[in-house]
Amino acid sequence: MAPAHVAIIMDGNGRWAKARGLPRVMGHRAGVEALRQVVRDAPGLGIEWLTVYAFSSENWARPQGEVADLMGLLKLFIRRDLAELHRNGVRIRIIGERTALAPDIRALLDDAEVLTAGNRSLNLVIAFNYGAREEITRTLRHLATEVAAGRLAPEAIDEALISRSLDTAGMPDPDLVIRTSGEMRLSNFLTWQCAYSELVFLPVLWPDFSKTHLEDALASFAGRERRYGGRPAAREAAS
Ligand code: FPP
């Protein structure tokens, strides 16, 4: 069965550009092109939720010029693609810490979410200024504030409440996480939500990612046995 929720760590833009003697921004631009194509392909492959890691809380440490390029690309992506995404029934959601973003970017993100709120063909979740530890910290601080104000009993804090309080409230956990470029780590991406996700690491650099790579990852997922800490279904039935 196809995974309902696929999350992608789009890695390797810099190496792609370097291999061609191009500035890094060209790698990121090519990365946006690859993203556009995946968004078009996803619904036909049975994917209902697609989450992409576009800018991490740690990416601020990059040179100022590169940070500005990534901010500019997000703006361009929303401005240029919003009409097509909306026409194709894509619902846009943003996760991450928004207050640190420039007001014009925040307004664009807010508008994109409002405009597409009723769409159903694909949920596109853009993780922007996102870091799992920051998200969990911010969420726990909020819950602690509620407890201190007497609005929440400590005993009421359970896994379901934490899930409902994260940026991903109401979204299913990712079934499959794909990371490109051969690196094999999660880099602070959806740590809580990926507790039982299947992981696929592909050696392709993100700008070269195509439908075939996505299909390969889905085939790998289809061969996995998900146990969530339990026992394999066949052995369970036999004993
Ligand atoms: C990692 O490549 C990629 C990023 C830090 C950003 C991902 C961004 C995009 C694909 C484009 C932006 C998309 C939107 C919607 C704005 P890297 O630079 O770390 O590559 P490297 O590891 O080869 O240096």
pLDDT in tens, 108-153: 999 999 999 999 999 999 999 999 999 999 999 999 999 999 999 9
Domain of residue 25, residue span = 5-131+173-224
Q: d(Cα 8, Cα 207) in Å, to the nearest integer?
A: 13
Ligand 1 centre to CA of 186 (Å) is 14
Q: Is position 18 within any domain?
A: yes
pLDDT of residue 234: 57
Q: Is position 177 within any domain?
A: yes
Q: Is position 124 within any domain?
A: yes
Whether 11 is a known active-site residue: answer yes
Q: Is position 189 within any domain?
A: yes
Q: What is the CATH number of the domain that holds 20?
A: 3.40.1180.10
Whether 188 is a known active-site residue: answer no
Q: Is position 180 within any domain?
A: yes
Q: Is position 91 within any domain?
A: yes
Instruction: Give the active site residue among 11, 69, 81, 167.
Output: 11
Burial 85-119 (b: 16+ CB within 10 A, else e): bbeeebbbbbbbeeeebeeebeebbeebeeebeeb
Total count of domains within the chain: 1
Q: Is position 149 within any domain?
A: no
Q: Is position 164 within any domain?
A: no
pTM summary value: 0.95
Ligand 1 pocket check: which of 11, 18, 125 to mutate, most ligand atoms within 8 Å of Cβ? 11
181-226 pLDDT, tens digit each: 999 999 999 999 999 999 999 999 999 999 999 999 999 999 999 8
